[in-house]
Amino acid sequence: MPRGDLFPDIAPYETGLLPLSGGHVMYWEQVGNPRGQPVLFLHGGPGAGAGAVHRRFFDPAHWRVVIFDQRGSGRSRPLGELAHNTTPHLVEDIETLRRFLGIEEWLLFGGSWGSTLALAYAQAHPERTQGCVLRGVFLGRRQEVEWFLCGMRRVFPDAWAQFAEHLPPDERHDLLGGYLRRLTDPDPQVHFPAARAWSQYEGLCSTLMPSPETVASFAQDRSALGLARIEAHYFAHDLFLPPEGLLGRMQRIAHLPAEIVQGRYDMVCPAESAFELAASWPRARLTVVPDAGHSALEPGVRLALVAAVERFRRRP
């Protein structure tokens, strides 16, 4: 897939491993201009991890880009660990990283679950947040989880059938419970196939047009395990969000500017949530990409995200 509308490939100028609470260790990296305007990239999932392509949404001459893998994800350790792994833990991890790097405040950039975590962090620490660039909005509500588990069959019945048929017929009434039992089974012969089935389902539903490249990236064993196990864990606990939900706390960040980019045909995180978020955020600008699904790497979404970040450049 040509990605000439992103900035060129770039290597980090600094990487590290940061000890966290509960025995977790965070992988982090910095890219771009060490004296630039700070921006924090928050990956999706939960559990997906970050990749090299995510560095390319930001002009390296201007931005000091901070990227990290959340607890249990990607290059952080231990992979797929669920103990001491909740949204409040992740919010505190971001603060730990911010203090460690000596950053006063930063722009938040997150898509899908990354948008959820960005909102949770911004609401907890508005004084540290310059604004938000969000994509494929997920508010962590029960109806959004149920849409992922069952509702997407209305559009992707074939993908959903593969997903459901990984479980025996007598367990298909509770897909989340059946998958969570397998994903947390210590036997790799049990948890890896379940992780592949879960992750392939998400990959198949993530783009407007079929993308074998996307599905293949979701299906790799190590990335699939972190994604599927941690997603199921978070889904089973209502994403560890407060009872009033993220929309119930919007007054805390009403003063902050935001850019929201949403694919019109996003089936993983349908556009309804982005519209509800924009309606509750006075300083939010909503861009609907008319020919895109969920993936950040679809052409129209890439263009809209780069443009949104550029609008956040600090004025002299």
Place of tokens 């790097």: 101
Strand bridging mode 258-263 / 37-42: unpaired
In contact, 301 and 135? CB cutoff 8 Å:
yes
CA distance 291 to 256: 29
Point out the catalytic residue in the list 217, 266, 273, 295: 266
112 is an active site residue: yes
Tell which residue, 73, 66, 80, has the closest CA to residue 26. 73
Helix axes 188-204, 175-183, angle to 10 degrees: 130
| Helices of type H across the chain | 87-101, 113-124, 142-149, 157-164, 175-183, 188-204, 212-219, 221-236, 271-279, 299-310
- What distance in Å separates the CA atoms of residue 234 and residue 256, rounded to the nearest whole number? 27
CA–CA distance, 79 with 237 (Å, rounded to integer): 20
Which entry of 43, 166, 191, 294 is annotated as an active-site residue?
294
Rounded distance, CA 191 to CA 152, Å?
Answer: 23
Residue 198 contacts residue 235 (beta carbons within 8 Å): no
What is residue 61's DSSP assignment?
Answer: T
Residue 158 falls in the annotated catalytic set? no
Q: Is 170 a catalytic residue?
A: no
Helix intervals (H) in 19-124: 87-101, 113-124
Q: Which of 24, 43, 73, 112 is catalytic?
A: 112
Positions marked active-site? 112, 266, 294
